[in-house]
Amino acid sequence: MFRDRIGFIVWINDVKAARNLEKYGHLHYISRRLHYAVLYAYAEQEEELAKTLMRLPYVRKVERSYRNEIRTEYNHNVPDQTRFYTF
């Protein structure tokens, strides 16, 4: 039903020119202070999109975001220690 999406961290030289990244995917965030942008696109376009972005004159570096690969489900094997903190 939903297509897999992947995130890119695009390091940029010019913040105003970074607004043009909207035509390559969903532009989520632009950091004016650190000069990077977060861009989401479909996973099947990953390699060709990275090459296309590197050809742009205002792009310094393109990194893939590993946010969707981080484990977010935790198991609770630690015993409950709330009884030690009550009076």
Residue 31 φ then ψ, to 5°: -95, 115
Whole-prediction pTM: 0.76
Is 79 a domain residue?
no
Q: CA angle 37-43-45, nearest 5°?
A: 85
Predicted local confidence at residue 58, as pLDDT? 96
Predicted local confidence at residue 49, as pLDDT? 95
Range of the domain at 30: 5-64
Is 35 a domain residue?
yes
Predicted local confidence at residue 66, as pLDDT? 87
Q: How many domains does the chain have?
A: 1
Is 72 a domain residue?
no
Q: Which residues contact 50 (CB under 8 A, 6 or more apart)?
A: 8, 62, 64
Closest CA to 48 of 19, 16, 25: 25
> In this structure, what CATH number is given to the domain that contains residue 13?
3.30.70.80
**How confident is the chain (87 residues) per 10-residue block, as mean pLDDT?**
89 94 95 96 93 96 88 74 66
